[in-house]
């Protein structure tokens, strides 16, 4: 089978990154979590006092984007492509609630989206890539070989994210997580630039009742049928 470009989109906590990571491992591809880029920019803005309440200081932040060093490095211990911000591994810090609750503010700024999309397309120049996000099949790679749209109910997603956070140093209550997911759903689907929507040619997979392994198997089956792997 030739190397494919695979786009995985869907609401937060649908298991996009988990699927993308497993799929990349199975196929020997690279995995890029595009949401991690928006999260890293959010962390940078918070740490440098450019994000107060729900206000982002775009005039200060946008000119600084060109000088940010955001890149991924594969960690063989976690099996994940982890994100670095200006030389520091911020893979864990970008998942904390403070970043999660502010990232939608950053992700709706058109100049920030342009910057991220450019980086994502550059990373996708070589095929053999699985990228997950919100606008990968619609904006970043409209010609992707395969587009998967993952869905699951808000309750199922909140339980998953809550359980994930319990394992970290920064747990949150189920109510906080549910509220955060509902707010992000609304912002992701109603923002003006690149709102989350299913690409016309995407295959929808509802994995609310599936384990990560079952989701992987479902998508591998689609790949076998389409590309004969």
Helix axes 154-166 and 174-190, enclosed angle (nearest 10)? 130
Report whether 51 contacts 57 (CB < 8 A): yes
Q: Does 133 contact ligand DC by CB under 6 A?
A: yes
- Closest separation between CB of residue 134 and ligand DC, Å? 4
- Closest separation between CB of residue 195 and ligand DC, Å? 9
Rg over CA atoms, the chain: 17
- Closest separation between CB of residue 228 and ligand DC, Å? 29
For 171, counting Cβ atoms within 10 Å of its Cβ (0-12 exposed, 13-18 middle, 19+ buried), the class is middle
Q: Does 107 contact ligand DC by CB under 6 A?
A: yes
> Is 75 or 189 the residue whose CB approaches ligand DC more closely?
189
Q: Which of residues 56-85 bind ligand DC (CB under 6 A)?
A: none
Cα(154)–Cα(74) distance, rounded to whole angstroms? 31
Q: Does 102 contact ligand DC by CB under 6 A?
A: no
Cα(154)–Cα(53) distance, rounded to whole angstroms? 25
Q: Which of residues 11-30 bind ligand DC (CB under 6 A)?
A: 12
Mapped onto helix, strand or coil, the DSSP state of residue 85 is: strand
Q: In the 8-state DSSP scheme, what is residue 45?
A: H
Which of the ranges 20-28, 127-135, 202-210, 212-220 carries the binding residues for ligand DC, by CB under 6 A?
Answer: 127-135
- Closest separation between CB of residue 210 and ligand DC, Å? 18
Q: How many residues bind ligand DC (CB under 6 A)?
A: 14
Q: Which of 184, 216, 219, 223 binds ligand DC (CB under 6 A)?
A: 184
> Is 124 or 133 the residue whose CB approaches ligand DC more closely?
133
Collect all residues with Cβ–Cβ distance below 8 Å to 41 and sequence separation of at least 6: 61, 65, 68, 70, 106, 112, 116
- Contacts with ligand DC by CB under 6 A lie at 12, 34-35, 38-39, 103-104, 107, 133-136, 184, 188
């Amino acid at each position: 089978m030739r190397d494919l470009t695979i786009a995985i989109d869907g609401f937060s906590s649908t298991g996009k990154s988990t699927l993308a990571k497993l799929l990349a491992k199975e196929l020997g591809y690279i995995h890029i979590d595009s949401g991690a880029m928006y999260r890293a920019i959010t962390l940078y803005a918070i740490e440098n006092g450019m994000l107060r309440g729900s206000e982002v200081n775009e005039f200060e932040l946008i000119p600084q984007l060109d000088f940010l060093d955001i890149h991924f490095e594969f960690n063989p211990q976690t099996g994940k492509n982890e994100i670095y911000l200006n030389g520091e591994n911020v893979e864990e810090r970008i998942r904390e609630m403070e970043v999660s609750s502010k990232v939608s503010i950053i992700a709706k700024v058109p100049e920030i989206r342009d910057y991220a999309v450019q980086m994502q397309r550059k990373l996708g120049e070589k095929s053999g890539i699985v990228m997950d996000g919100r606008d990968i099949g619609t904006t970043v790679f409209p010609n992707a070989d395969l587009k998967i749209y993952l869905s699951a109910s808000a309750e199922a997603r909140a339980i998953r994210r809550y359980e994930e956070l319990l394992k970290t140093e920064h747990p949150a209550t189920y109510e906080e997580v549910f509220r955060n997911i509902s707010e992000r759903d609304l912002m992701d689907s109603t923002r003006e630039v690149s709102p989350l929507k299913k690409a016309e040619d995407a295959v929808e997979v509802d994995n609310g009742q599936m384990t990560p392994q079952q989701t992987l198997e479902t998508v591998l089956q689609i790949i076998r049928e389409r590309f004969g792997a």
